[in-house]
Structure 1
Amino acid sequence: MTDAAITPTVPGAKEAARADRLRAGLKRRYARERRFKLYGLLAIGLAVGFLLLLLGRIFEQGHTAFYAHTVTTPVYMDPARVDRAYPQGTNFELLVAEQQLARLGVQDDVSGTKATAMRGLFSSELKFIAAERVRQQPELIGQTTPIAAPLSDDADLYFKGEISRDTPAEQRRLSDEQIDWLDRMKADGMVASHFNSALFTKGDSTEPELAGVLGAVIGSALMLLVTALIALPLGVGAALYLEEFAPKGRITNLIEVNINNLAAVPSIIYGLLGLALFINWMHLPRASPLVGGLVLALMALPTIIIATRSSLKAVPPSIREAALAMGASKTQTVFHHTLPLAMPGVMTGAIISMAHALGETAPLLLIGMVSFVPGIPHGLAEPTGALPSLIYIWENASERAFHERTAAAIIVLLAFMIIMNAAAVLLRRRFERRW
């Protein structure tokens, strides 16, 4: 009786201990899961924080480049100094500076130092604006007409708060007297701010206030056009052959390994290849969108091939089997069924590779796109710049005003990439099918 009463209590104690261990194990496992989720949230928060810090710094430095200041001043077209036959030969900068000094009641010295200082407040664009006005309206000679011209880069930075009167005079490019003149012109209502349309309608320039990104944007667009026309057909065709038609063997495996390795090759190697192959051997125009597009096409090919093959692998085998069972040939199965179903992934990979090529700088520097190109390209063989190389050039410029335009060009480049990635997402959703 005693043994029968005691025996059942032993298994119960063991089960209770086992249950306690299970509960403790579950508690530890749930704690690990909570910690893992916390680590993930912290990692995401840290990444988002760094991204916001980067974007905030770029917008803080670059937003001032999207507006500029102009000065509107009445100019007397002195017949004794304005050349009616050739207005471009007239020194309008000195003419306006002397009249502006007289308007402010400032007496110049014999050496003309104050006139030179006043000329430094106006952009060199002033002479072209005034000459064009006289060329179109010769009757203005002998009359007074208002001329609106951009301020110089230093004067523009002063009104943007980038140059302060409190800074020691030896550490700024504007003297106290020039700052006084700017304040008086501002008080007289001669200075106005406006949207800086020149940033988007002009090419590069040695004058920061006249520099724009249009030439670089067109150059980048032409390069991407060449890249797409070459890389997309070759990349998709190579992926289709390797995935659907090529016999599996050592040669195919060797090709696949080399393609994967090429995707990891530094971009500067492609620049060296383009310099040796397209410029030194084929003698194609240096710093042209044609050469840039060819180099970027070589760099984008591995990525497009890998993305296309992954998309083809994601198509269920039943699709191919059903098409073959209905009497379709291998080629018909691939081009009528497999490839259309894989197109969302193919388009996504292609556009992402194009966006990646858009931001590359090292290959472009090696093929000569680091040079100063002031005009707007009109063909694939003309020298041009690109947004990444323009950012590199402006950031290394000595003028302080180029730094704000560097950040503005980065914003334009980021907007370009966001548009391309948004297009990839929309195309994927448009053509995506579920099975």
Structure 2
Amino acid sequence: MDIVNQGLARRYRAEKRFRLYGIVAIILSMIFLVFLFISISANGYTAFQQTFVRLDIHLDPEILDAGSLADANYQGLVKQSLADMFPEVTTRREKRQLYGMVSNGAAYQLQDYVRKNQNKIGSVIQIWVPADDDVDMVIKGHIQRDVPEAERRVKDNQLSWIDEFREQGRLEKRFNTTFFTAGDSREPELAGIKGAVTGSFYTLIVTLLLSFPIGVAAAVYLEEFAPKNRWTDIIEVNINNLAAVPSIVYGLLGLAVFLNFFGLPRSVPLVGGLVLTLMTLPTIIIASRAALKSVPPSIREAALGVGASRTQMVMHHVLPLALPGMLTGTIIGMAQALGETAPLLMIGMVAFIVDIPGGFTDPSTVLPVQIFLWADSPERAFLEKTSAAIMVLLAFLVTMNALAVFLRKKFERRW
């Protein structure tokens, strides 16, 4: 009896150690996850604010001819406003530094204002325009003033002009709506994620419309109708293997089949959705088959016992009960597709796209590829843009996974 008690105590201690190891693993995972979120948020939260400069611009009627407003020299009006504020700036080098205090997009913003307010031509207006990205970095504290002038992009005279702007109340930080309403740009202060988000939306629509019905149909056939023989075993093994294939292989397949063989256009959501469909199908098939297996055999036997055909049994009884699990697997597959970059690089969705895509065949990029492009840019301002875009992508992924958990908890049945 003592030997049995000693063995029992040893097994209890082993069980406690095993539970402790599991708890430690979960805690370490949570620590790494929190560290990741904090690191990204610390670099990216400032991108949701943008520095603006207030300019007093004389809308000279000699320059702004009502008949040719589209061809007027708006950039010259912006430069003249800056020159009037600092008349002591006379050399060409200093003027170039002064004019670089505001974004190149200020001229386009002024053009939009004049087109909507033509009655203001001839008067002096006050307009807030985005500051240059280097000025924005100074205001946000990302460029240190105590660094020697030769080692920073903002020169000493520009720092003095920034101080004068601040003393005159001409600097203001506002919520960066451009980040959510604009496409990509070479100028960090004008770059946004709307084009990438729209491209991701169109790509996922194509992926969902193709992968869900095909995946569910394949799972239903393999689980309910396919004969159990060598061929179905080979198909099942290959589906499981395809789920572990690196995603870039699907990109190479899409490049060879959809672009080279079928001649579809490059860098469009249609091709991106087709490639991601190939990548997502194994995940959806496996999840759907698991959901079908979870339905008790008694449901099938009862339906067949009252005279239902095998098709009626599947469509009217088994499939509705398995649908919540299928939806969960589909959402997880869509979340995986949303975060993919490598296969889309192979089909040309890494291009620099400024315009917002308006359809499935318009050139576009997706959010992970946009992050990849910004991360490769040398400007300091693109670092915060990259982190902010990662925060948006993580928010989408967390939302999709939370939705999958919610649907599973809400509709699952305990047998």
TM-score band w.r.t. shorter chain: over 0.9
The within-5 A match list for 1:202-217 is: 202-217=182-197
Unpaired runs of 5+ in structure 2?
none
Q: 1:85 aligns with which of 52, 67, 77?
A: 67
Alignment-mate amino acid for residue 300 of structure 1: T
Unpaired runs of 5+ in structure 1?
1-17
Tell me, yes or no, if structure 1 residue 53 matches structure 2 residue 35: yes
The change in CA–CA distance for 1:171 and 1:94 in structure 2 (over 3 A counts) is farther
Tell me, yes or no, if structure 1 residue 181 matches structure 2 residue 170: no
Shift of 1:141: 3.1
Q: 1:251 aligns with which of 198, 209, 231?
A: 231
Structure 2 equivalent of residue 31 of structure 1: 13
Tell me, yes or no, if structure 1 residue 107 matches structure 2 residue 88: yes
Question: How many Å separate the matches in 2 of 1:288 and 1:247?
Answer: 40
Shift of 1:83: 4.5
Structure 2 equivalent of residue 329 of structure 1: 309
For the Cα contact (< 8 Å) 1:94–1:119, is it kept in 2?
A: no
For the Cα contact (< 8 Å) 1:93–1:119, is it kept in 2?
A: no
For the Cα contact (< 8 Å) 2:200–2:365, is it kept in 1?
A: yes
Tell me, yes or no, if structure 1 residue 382 matches structure 2 residue 362: yes
Structure 1 equivalent of residue 277 of structure 2: 297
Question: How many Å separate the matches in 1 of 2:118 and 2:243?
Answer: 63
Instruction: Determine what percentage of the aligned residue pairs are the same residue.
Output: 52
SS at match of 2:364: coil
The within-5 A match list for 1:206-355 is: 206-355=186-335
Shift of 1:80: 4.5
Question: How many Å separate the matches in 1 of 2:186 and 2:263?
Answer: 29
Structure 1 equivalent of residue 406 of structure 2: 426
Q: 2:124 aligns with which of 136, 140, 144?
A: 144
Please, which moves more after superposition, 112-121 or 215-224? 112-121
For the Cα contact (< 8 Å) 1:134–1:141, is it kept in 2?
A: yes
1:81-108, CA deviations, whole angstroms, 9 ceiling, x for partnerless residues?
Answer: 445433444444443334334324x412
Question: How many Å separate the matches in 2 of 1:99 and 1:298?
Answer: 56
Question: How many Å separate the matches in 2 of 1:99 and 1:238?
Answer: 67
Alignment-mate amino acid for residue 178 of structure 1: Q
The within-5 A match list for 1:65-80 is: 65-80=47-62
1:295-314, CA deviations, whole angstroms, 9 ceiling, x for partnerless residues?
Answer: 00011111111111111111
Structure 1 equivalent of residue 150 of structure 2: 170
So what's the TM-score if we normalise by structure 1? 0.92
**Number of equivalenced pairs:** 415
So what's the TM-score if we normalise by structure 2? 0.96
Question: How many Å separate the matches in 2 of 1:88 and 1:124?
Answer: 17
Shift of 1:373: 0.5
SS at match of 2:67: coil
Question: How many Å separate the matches in 2 of 1:302 and 1:203?
Answer: 33
Please, which moves more after superposition, 424-433 or 297-306? 424-433
Higher Rg of the two aligned structures: 1
Alignment-mate amino acid for residue 79 of structure 2: A
